Structure formats: C-alpha cells, structure tokens
C-alpha cells in the first residue's frame, strides 16, 4: 500500500531525469551537427573569427579616449555597420558596403535639404512638411525595391536610403546640430565599411566568383558521372558485370540532383561576383553571366537524366537480348558525351581552348549515329525470327526505345548550348 | 569656309541634346516599367503606402513633446525598427519582428551580465573582458547562422543578437546608465514592431500562406494546360486541325517553366506561412510542408513535359500514319491526366475531398492501358504490309515511341505522389 504513495515523487523525479536527458541529447546532437559543419568547411569557421575580429577592432573606438572623443556616441554606427555589412564572400560585403555608403549619402543630403525647406516655412508647417516628405519618399523608395533590376543590385541601398532619410529628417526636428549628426553618421559608417572591406579582402578572402566557378565545374563533373552511371545502371542489370560498391554508385547517380537545385545559388553568386575587383585569374570584366547560361544548359541536361532515371526505375523492362543489342553503342554514346562534358569542365578550369574538344564532339556525334544505326536495325532483328515469336517481346520493346532515344537526346540537346557557351568563355579567357 | 568653324559648337550642342534625350528616354522607360509593375499588382503599391504610413505614425514620437520626453533620442530605434522589419507579407513581418524582439532581449540580458562581471574585475581588465566576450559571442552567433535549421528561421535574430550584444556591452564602457539604455532600446523596439504588426495585419494584409496557396493552384492549372498543349502540339502537325492563335498557345505551352523555377519562392513562402496566425480558411497548424511536397511532385511532372517538349522540337519526326494510330489514345491519356491535375487543383482550392477524383484517376489509368494496348498493336501494323515496305518507317518510329512512353510516364509518375499529398491535405482541411 505504500508503493502507490511513493510513486508520484519517483515518477516526477524520473520524468525530470528523462526530460533533462532528452534535452542534453538534443543539445549534443545540435553541437555535433555544428561541429560536422565546421569540419566540412573550415572557411566558415574562419569567417566567424573574422567577424569577431572586426567587431573587436571597431570597439576600440570606445576603449581609446582620444578616438572616442572624436566620434562620441556615434561610434555605435560603426559597430552596427560592421555587424550588418560583413558577409561571407567578398562580393557580398562589397555590394552591401557600397549600397550602404551611397544610400546614406544620398538620403543625408536630401534630408538636410528637406529640413532646410521645412525650417524656412514656420513652426506650424514644419512637422507637416517633414511628415509628408517622409511618407512620399519612403513609399517611392519601397516601390523601387519591387522593380527587378533594382531589387537584384540595390535592394539594400534602397532600405538604407529610407532609414537614413527618415532618421535625419525626423530627428532634425529635435536635434540642433543636424549637419554634425549627418556628418558623424556618414564618417562612422565609412570607417565601419572600410574596416569590413579590409578584413574581408585581406584575411583568407572568399571570393564569390571563385565559389561560382568551383560550383560550375564541380556540377559539370557530377553531371558527367551521373550520365555515365545512369546508362551503365540501365544496361548492367543484363550482364551484372558492372556491380561496384552500392553506396558510392548511388551517390554518383544522384549527382545530377545538385545541378537541378543549384539555380538560386548560381544567380546570387554571379550577382555578387560582378561587384568584385580583379582577383586571381578573374579579370574585372569577367563574363559572369556566361556561367549562368552554362548552369541553365546543365540543368536542361539534368532534366534528361531525370527522365532517363524514370525509365530505369520503371517496372517495364526490356528483354535481355534487345538490351544487349544496343548496350554497346549506348554505352559508347554516354561515355563519349560524358567525356565531352568533362573536357568542357577542364576547359573552364584551365581557361584555355582545348584542342581535343572538337575531336571529342566529333567522336560523340559518330557514336550517336552508330546508335541510331543500331536502332534502325531493330526491325530486322524482330522480323528475322519466326513471326509468332517476335510479337511477344514487342510490347516491352518500347521501354528501351524510350530510354535509348532519351540517351541520345541529352547529348544532342546539351552539346549545342554547352559548346557555344563554353567556346564564348574560352575565347574571352 | 565658315561652316567648319560653326561645327564644334553645334556638335557639342547636338551631343548634349542627344545625351539629354537618351537620358530622358531611359528614365521614361524605367518609369513605364514601374507603372506596369504597379498596374500588374496593385497590392505592391498598397504595401508601399503602408510603409509610408507606418513611418509617418512612428515619427509622431518626435513631433509630440510628451511622447518625446518619454523615450528621448532613442525614438530613433522605433523608426529603424519599422524600416527594417516591415515586409511585404504578414508572415515575413511577424518572423522578423519576433526575431528582433527575442534577439534584443536575450542579447541585452547577456550584455548586462557581462558588463557587471567586467565592472567587478577592475579598470584594467574591463576592456579585455568585454572585448573577448564580444569576440567569442559574435563568432559563435555568426557560426550558428550557417546551420541550416537556424538559418531558415532565426537568421535575422542571430544578427540582431550580435548587434545588440556588442552595442550594449561596448557602450557600457562609456555610458553610465546602462540599464536605462537597454530598457529604452527594448521598449522602442517593441513599440516599432507592434506598430508594424498592427499595420501589416489590419491594412489590406498580404498573407504568405494565401500567396503560397494561390501559387500552387495556379501552377497546377498551368501544368495541366501545358501537358494538354504539348501532346496536342505533337499530334497537331499531322492533322493541322488544332491550330489556334499562336501566341496564346505558346504561352500555355511554356506554362510548365513557371513550375520549374518556382522552387525558391515556394520554400520562402512556406517558411513565412508557418509564422502566421490563423486567417481565412487556414488554421494555425495548417500543413504548409505538404505544399512543398506538392510543389516537388509538380516539378517532377514538369521535367517530363520538358523531355516531351524536346521530342516535339526534335528534327526526327514520326511518319503520319503512326502518329494517327496512337494520337487518339495519347490525347485521351493527356486530357485525362490533365483533368486529374485540374481536379486536384479544385480539391485544394475548395479544401474538400473530391468525389470525382477516384473516378478520374480510374479513367486515366484505363486510358493509359488503352494507349499501351495501342502500342502493343504496333508490330502487327508493321508486319501486316509487305516486309519491304515496313522497314523504311521503322527508323523513325522510335521518336513517337519515346514521346509516347514519356506521355505515359508523367501521369504515372505524378499521380502517385500528388494523390497522396493531396489526400493528406484534404483529410486535414
């Protein structure tokens, strides 16, 4: 009879223990994930240290008496600028810095002008004029943020414009030394942005252009591997000779998924890359837009692989002898076209016109023709045995036919845009 | 002889005129684009007016003496909050507001704690302790911004955390009434966010959930139209009876491209929608993630249409009589499957389980089987004429075979995930 009385207390204790254990497990998992992330890409850790460093340096304005007396409480703006402007890549930091400085300048001058007009028009009208100017300019600037061409490059600048304009013009109603306020705000912001730019460019810089470039070449290699893997997978069922370690192969096969999902990253990177000065092998006027085009044609190619993959997992499979009939030429086409993609990746990597590329394209085209010849010989294959036999496999023949034409489609489709964009690139570099 | 002397002046004048005309043209074009944008979506204009209104209201803190005396120069934080937090959709505004308030609170308390510890440890160590705490916490918070789960929901909060922590702890070195500073900053931020939330929710609210929902149903309709249009286009060349106004049709055909490119929008919308309270027909726990799944399966379907489109534009076309043989059943499959998609769109629109959907799916499946039967009868078609004749068209037969299996593939592929996710949705609603 004592047991039930003792239970509630022990239950609560047990529950608490479980709760704490669960919480600890969650925290532990979170930390583990964070650790993996850091190990996976140490540059992220370096970026964090850079942010900490920049903030510590900028807070010296508070610790050193002579510096503090120069800028006063406005040193806060320098800190704020560092926090807001410091981004992972050089291009992003530069774009935000320039946007911030330009937006602040423009808005500051405008606000001082509006304030001067308002102060001339008497005490009663002052708040009305200031208020309506804030309303109008804020609405207009917000509207420009919807315009695509502004949104891509000057979104942050427009926001800073609204912010500075309303701050300066509204506080002008209370603060006497408005010009000093605007001047101090501008100078502290310039100090902050300058510090950010110096730190981001000198301490282990991460260039958006470099990242974009690495992403594109990596994706090209993945695409080539997937194409190879997919076709091999399709014909491998038949002979079973190509079996290698399962997980590794699955990873290769799924490589094209990265290509499908990297559109947004490519676009932001290309956008930031345009802000970057010349660095490494990239000139100032490097044709970043070409990379977006290459990305688009790679995505087209990945769609084809996706469709091909659908055929592999479809339950209707072609009979063995048909597969064997076309397997050689199909494998040749896929290996040729993937080697073309790889060669293109090398071309982009070295930024030199490859002498092999034309031969490879030629080889690929001849392989495609060979495959088509193989396909044309199909009817003979079916009509040569006795008629009664030939009609059974026919209904399953459609599947490989589909996959075959899909196999032949991607090279044809991908080569035309890829070669043109790649040749454009190589001509410039 | 006088003419050449007069030339430079007139040239300069002409050049200036041309320059001004060019500039005016550019400005005019820009304004026209902006006007079109406004006419296209009047809610964007309303949003701009809302921003202007909120800013004007918040600047009353400066104009009214009793209010100004309450918060002082810190009223600036309220203005800043409004500019930074006010977003287009309710969900985005709410998410930013909550992030800002929580980040400020947490950082403020931590900073006051650190400041207290530092002030106990003597004048020499104070800057060192504060500096190193800023360095450590800023680095750690920056690192959490890289962790995907944090990045999606609390990216802005982490930034505000760094900002507030460094501001409060560093200015604590100079400002005496640190507690007052933190308190005023927090209260002005709460005033700003509250104003934003009220304005965004009461004046013509734009709900992220509603937008996502409209996007998904619109994309479904577009997908169904594209599917119909593509298949019709493929077989239309043969009979030429389906020719309707070119541009309209082209637009329909390209509808699936929207589905391909809307991934990023869907994800951000779904993310913001989770922050929104119950509104309209959406409950608080509305399964927004299901919409992402639907979007993903729609994208799979769009890949198939993309591949099908490749067949249409391929130069190898099937002979007429083969096309005719399968055109009826293919058109049936495509119209059935597009009506299934449309029915699903209606289901989502009305949020009721449709009674027709099972019948439609059944119809579609039978149509698919019919098409397969038609395909199976192909060999007979080829073997019934004399052997010599049958071998010529064979090499072109592959193309329609490919397109056919692709036609049959999308419905099969799309139906399974679509039906499951739609039924999930309808069960909840």
What pLDDT band is residue B423 in, cutting at 50, 70 and 90? very low
Choose among A127, A139, A390: nearest Cβ to B63: A127
Choose among B63, B135, B142: nearest Cβ to A47: B142
| Burial readout B221-254 (b: 16 or more C-beta within 10 A, e: otherwise) | bbbbbbbbbbbbbbbbebeeeeeeeeeebeebbe
Which one, of B36, B260, B169, lies nearest residue A296 by Cα?
A: B260
For A121-207, where are the alpha helices, taking DSSP H only? 126-144, 148-171, 178-202
| pLDDT tens digits, one per residue of A172-215 | 766 667 777 777 778 888 888 888 888 888 888 888 888 888 88
Residues A265, A211: contact at Cβ < 8 Å? no
| pLDDT tens digits, one per residue of A129-176 | 888 888 888 888 888 888 888 888 888 899 889 888 888 887 776 666
Residues B299, B260: contact at Cβ < 8 Å? yes
Backbone angles phi, psi at A204, to 5 degrees: 40, 65
Q: What percent of chain B has pLDDT over 70?
A: 57
The half-sphere exposure of A228 on its side-chain side, counting CA atoms within 13 A, is 19
Interface residue of B268, B405, B409 to substitute, partner A, most A CBs within 10 Å: B405
The secondary structure of residue B78, as a DSSP letter, is H
Q: A13: distance to nearest CA of chain B, Å? A: 30
Tell me the average pLDDT across A112-139.
84
What pLDDT band is residue B388 in, cutting at 50, 70 and 90? very low
Comparison of pLDDT for A400 and B267, the residue scoring more: B267
| pLDDT tens digits, one per residue of A34-69 | 888 888 888 888 888 888 888 888 887 777 776 666
The interface residues of chain A toward chain B in range 242-281, judged by CB-CB distance below 8 A, are 261, 263-264
Residue A108 predicted with pLDDT over 50: yes
What pLDDT band is residue B219 in, cutting at 50, 70 and 90? confident
Q: What pLDDT does residue B383 have?
A: 33
Residue B125 CB coordination number (10 Å): 12
Residue B100 predicted with pLDDT over 80: yes
Distance CA(A234)–CA(B42), nearest Å, equals 52
If phi > 0 it is left, if psi is from -120 to 50 it is alpha, else beta; for residue B260 that is: alpha
Tell me the average pLDDT across A73-86.
82
Low-confidence winner among A121-135, A370-384, B332-346 (lowest mean pLDDT): A370-384
Low-confidence winner among A306-315, A412-421, B56-65, B171-180 (lowest mean pLDDT): A412-421
Q: Does A35 touch chain B (CB under 8 A)?
A: no
| pLDDT tens digits, one per residue of B104-143 | 888 888 888 888 888 888 777 887 888 888 888 888 888 8
Q: What pLDDT does residue B417 have?
A: 41
Residues A367, A336: contact at Cβ < 8 Å? yes
Residue A363 predicted with pLDDT over 80: no
This prediction has a pTM of 0.76
- Partners of B304 on chain A (C-beta within 8 Å) are 307, 310
Which one, of B135, B107, B139, B282, lies nearest residue B212 by Cα?
A: B282
Low-confidence winner among A24-38, A93-107, B140-154, B333-347 (lowest mean pLDDT): B333-347
Q: What pLDDT does residue A365 have?
A: 65
- Partners of B395 on chain A (C-beta within 8 Å) are 372, 375-376
- Partners of A398 on chain B (C-beta within 8 Å) are 375, 401, 404-405
| Burial readout B401-426 (b: 16 or more C-beta within 10 A, e: otherwise) | bbbbbbbbbbbbbbbebbbebbeebb
Residue A328 predicted with pLDDT over 80: no
Distance CA(B427)–CA(B429), nearest Å, equals 6
Tell me the average pLDDT across A222-227.
76
Residue B52 predicted with pLDDT over 50: yes
What pLDDT band is residue B235 in, cutting at 50, 70 and 90? low
What pLDDT band is residue B404 in, cutting at 50, 70 and 90? very low
Comparison of pLDDT for B239 and B377, the residue scoring more: B377
Q: A142: distance to nearest CA of chain B, Å? A: 5
Q: Which residues contact A255 (CB under 8 A, 6 or more apart)?
A: A222, A223, A225, A226, A229
Residue B379 CB coordination number (10 Å): 21
Pick the residue from chain A with its C-alpha nearest to B34: A147
Q: What pLDDT does residue B429 have?
A: 42
Residue B42 CB coordination number (10 Å): 10
Q: Does B7 touch chain A (CB under 8 A)?
A: no
Residue B221 predicted with pLDDT over 70: yes
Range picked from A242-251, B286-295, B341-350 for highest mean pLDDT? B286-295
Q: B212: distance to nearest CA of chain A, Å? A: 18
Q: What pLDDT does residue A175 have?
A: 64
Q: What pLDDT does residue A416 have?
A: 41
Range picked from A58-62, A355-359, B85-89 for highest mean pLDDT? B85-89
- Work out the burial of residue A293: count CB atoms within 10 Å of its CB; fewer than 13 is exposed, 13-18 middle, 19 or more buried: middle
Q: What pLDDT does residue A220 have?
A: 77
Distance CA(A393)–CA(A390), nearest Å, equals 6
Distance CA(B77)–CA(B192), nearest Å, equals 8
Backbone angles phi, psi at B319, to 5 degrees: -65, 155
Instruction: Collapse the DSSP code of B279 into the 3-class scheme (helix H, G, I; strand E, B; otherwise coil) and give the result.
Output: strand
Q: Which residues contact B210 (CB under 8 A, 6 or more apart)?
A: B279, B280, B282
Q: What percent of chain B has pLDDT over 90?
A: 0
The secondary structure of residue A109, as a DSSP letter, is H
What does the angle CA A146 – CA A150 – CA A152 come to, to the nearest 5 degrees?
A: 95
Is A134 in contact with B55 (Cβ distance < 8 A)?
yes
Token couple for B21: 């005309």
Comparison of pLDDT for A280 and A30, the residue scoring more: A30
Which one, of B39, B139, B346, B367, lies nearest residue B231 by Cα?
A: B367
- Angstrom CA distances, A298 to A17, A95, A257, A417, stand at 53, 28, 11, 9
Q: What pLDDT does residue B273 have?
A: 82
Query: What ipTM is given for this predicted complex?
Result: 0.75
Tell me the average pLDDT across A400-423.
41
Residue B32 predicted with pLDDT over 50: yes
Pick the residue from chain B with its C-alpha nearest to A168: B76
Q: Does A317 touch chain B (CB under 8 A)?
A: no
Comparison of pLDDT for A365 and B203, the residue scoring more: B203
- Partners of B44 on chain A (C-beta within 8 Å) are 143, 146
Is B63 in contact with A131 (Cβ distance < 8 A)?
yes
Range picked from A93-107, A272-286, A394-408, B385-399 for highest mean pLDDT? A93-107
Tell me the average pLDDT across A297-316.
64
Pick the residue from chain B with its C-alpha nearest to A69: B174
If phi > 0 it is left, if psi is from -120 to 50 it is alpha, else beta; for residue A293 that is: alpha
Q: What pLDDT does residue A415 have?
A: 42
Q: Which residues contact A259 (CB under 8 A, 6 or more apart)?
A: A219, A222, A223, A295, A298, A299, A301, A302
Q: What pLDDT does residue A304 have?
A: 67
What pLDDT band is residue A397 in, cutting at 50, 70 and 90? very low
Q: Does A392 touch chain B (CB under 8 A)?
A: no
Distance CA(A85)–CA(B162), nearest Å, equals 12
Average pLDDT over chain A reads 71
């Amino acid at each position: 009879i004592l047991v039930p009385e003792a239970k509630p207390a022990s239950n609560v204790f047990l529950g608490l223990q479980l709760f704490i254990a669960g919480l600890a497990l969650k925290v532990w998992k979170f930390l583990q994930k964070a650790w993996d992330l850091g190990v996976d890409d140490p540059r992220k850790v370096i970026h964090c240290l850079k942010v900490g460093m920049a903030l510590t340096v900028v807070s010296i304005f508070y610790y050193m008496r002579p510096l503090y007396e120069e800028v006063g409480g406005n040193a806060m703006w320098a800190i704020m600028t560092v926090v807001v402007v410091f981004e992972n890549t050089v291009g992003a930091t530069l774009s935000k810095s320039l946007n911030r400085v330009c937006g602040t300048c423009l808005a500051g001058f405008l606000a001082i002008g509006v304030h001067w007009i308002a102060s001339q028009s008497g005490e009663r009208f002052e708040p009305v004029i200031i208020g309506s100017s804030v309303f109008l300019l804020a609405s207009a600037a917000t509207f420009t943020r919807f315009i695509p061409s502004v949104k891509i490059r000057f979104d942050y600048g427009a926001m800073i414009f609204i912010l500075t304009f309303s701050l300066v013009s509204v506080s002008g109603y209370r603060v006497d030394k408005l010009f000093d306020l605007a001047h101090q705000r501008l100078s502290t912001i310039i100090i902050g942005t300058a510090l950010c730019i110096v730190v981001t460019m000198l301490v282990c810089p991460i260039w958006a252009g470099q990242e974009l470039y690495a992403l594109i070449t990596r994706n090209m290699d993945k695409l080539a591997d997937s194409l190879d893997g997919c076709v091999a997978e399709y014909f491998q069922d038949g002979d079973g000779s190509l079996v290698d370690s399962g997980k590794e192969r699955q990873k290769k096969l799924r490589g094209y998924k990265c290509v499908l999902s990297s559109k947004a990253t490519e676009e932001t990177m290309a956008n930031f890359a345009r802000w970057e000065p010349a660095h490494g092998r990239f000139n100032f006027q490097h044709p970043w837009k070409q990379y977006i085009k290459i990305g688009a044609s790679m995505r087209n190619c990945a769609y084809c692989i996706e469709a091909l993959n659908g055929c592999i997992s479809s339950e209707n499979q072609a009979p063995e002898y048909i597969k064997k009939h076309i397997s050689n030429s199909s494998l040749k086409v896929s290996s040729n076209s993937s080697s073309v993609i790889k060669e293109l990746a090398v071309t982009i990597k070295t930024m030199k016109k490859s002498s092999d590329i034309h031969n490879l394209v030629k080889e690929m085209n001849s392989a495609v023709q060979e495959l088509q010849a193989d396909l044309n010989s199909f009817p003979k294959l079916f009509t040569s045995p006795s008629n009664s036999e030939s009609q059974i496999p026919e209904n399953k023949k459609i599947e490989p036919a589909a996959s075959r034409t899909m196999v032949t489609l991607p090279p044809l489709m991908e080569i035309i845009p890829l070669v043109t964009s790649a040749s454009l690139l190589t001509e410039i570099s």
